[in-house]
Copies of this chain bind each other. A is one copy, B any other.
């Protein structure tokens, strides 16, 4: 699982502070999460093969998470895209995009499929044999969802030495990886555990932005490998966090601790702070494994 931060700042785009957008690579999928203004240029700058994106998840319709979407959709058209593009986001997203394409008489020549969200309970948006994606309903000034990306357990790994030693024919290797016991060349049934190792544990990623401190999400994201949780403010501006329905670094860390997350990534910083290490320090008083998102940074898990 690779997570590339295209932008991790709140409010207005600035010369060296991009609004929110992330690319998550998981089991061959390339998911785009949020799409602030300038996202398409960040994708180019970071050399992401963005034609591979087939699913875009928009948390909410504030500009710093959404204003780059119509431009990206238009660019896909200009680049001759043919494959379907699925957009998941709050009700109204379709009207906003379609109106702008209509005004420019710039309809896409690929299928643009909107999945408009309005539920206040978690729902599964995407599922195949490798991955599932569900909403994490959040608490912000407008209707907002986070997203929980989960790998499904993969195949077991063949222990080639053991398989040869156990006289298992090559043609049964895939069956062994699927977890079955196998009859060997001598007609003896070999226990699966003898010739395979367990698969890598499936990883998961919870994206929670933007939101006020919301402990009720903990059950849903329990044990998540990586939690991205917004931390627009430090605790010294707790009153601003409450007024604007954002979180502090400390609150993000409390959620990570309660959820027993593997790693916490902070982001969506307010522009008022000079030293982002202050976010890490504040969070680490509560939870050890804290990373800071940075525009252009890739995390590998």
Q: A residues near B, CB below 8 A?
A: 11-15, 37-38, 40-41, 44-45, 60-63, 66-68, 70-71, 74-75, 78-79, 90, 92-93, 95-96, 99-100, 103-106, 141-142
Residues of B near A63 (CB, < 8 A) are 70-71, 74, 100, 104, 106
CA distance A107 to B90 in the complex (A): 18
Contact: B104 with A66, CB < 8 Å?
yes
Contact of A12 among B11, B37, B78, B105 (CB under 8 A): B78
Residues of B near A11 (CB, < 8 A) are 78
CA distance A67 to B141 in the complex (A): 24
11 pairs from A and B in contact (CB 8 Å cutoff): A13-B38, A14-B44, A15-B41, A38-B38, A62-B104, A63-B100, A63-B106, A67-B70, A92-B99, A95-B99, A96-B100
Residues of B near A79 (CB, < 8 A) are 12
Q: 8 closest Cβ contacts across the A-B interface?
A: A61-B103, A12-B75, A37-B71, A92-B103, A63-B74, A67-B71, A62-B104, A61-B104
**A100: nearest residue on chain B (CB-CB)?**
B96
Residues of B near A15 (CB, < 8 A) are 41, 44-45
**A44: nearest residue on chain B (CB-CB)?**
B15
Contact: B12 with A40, CB < 8 Å?
yes
Residues of B near A66 (CB, < 8 A) are 104
Minimal beta-carbon separation of A118 from chain B (angstroms) = 13
Given contacts A13-B40, A38-B37, contact A104 B70 (CB under 8 A): no
Minimal beta-carbon separation of A100 from chain B (angstroms) = 6
- Most chain B beta-carbon contacts within 10 A, residue among A13, A45, A95, A141: A13
Contact: B103 with A96, CB < 8 Å?
yes
**A99: nearest residue on chain B (CB-CB)?**
B96
Residues of B near A96 (CB, < 8 A) are 99-100, 103
Contact: A68 with B37, CB < 8 Å?
yes
CA distance A100 to B67 in the complex (A): 9
CA distance A169 to B106 in the complex (A): 66
CA distance A95 to B106 in the complex (A): 17
**A62: nearest residue on chain B (CB-CB)?**
B104
CA distance A75 to B62 in the complex (A): 12
Contact: B62 with A41, CB < 8 Å?
no
- Most chain B beta-carbon contacts within 10 A, residue among A40, A45, A68, A100: A100
Q: A37-B38, A95-B99, A105-B141 are in contact. List 11 more A-B contacts (CB 8 A).
A: A12-B75, A12-B79, A13-B75, A14-B41, A15-B44, A37-B71, A61-B103, A63-B106, A92-B99, A96-B100, A99-B99
**A76: nearest residue on chain B (CB-CB)?**
B12
Minimal beta-carbon separation of A92 from chain B (angstroms) = 5
Minimal beta-carbon separation of A143 from chain B (angstroms) = 10
Minimal beta-carbon separation of A97 from chain B (angstroms) = 10
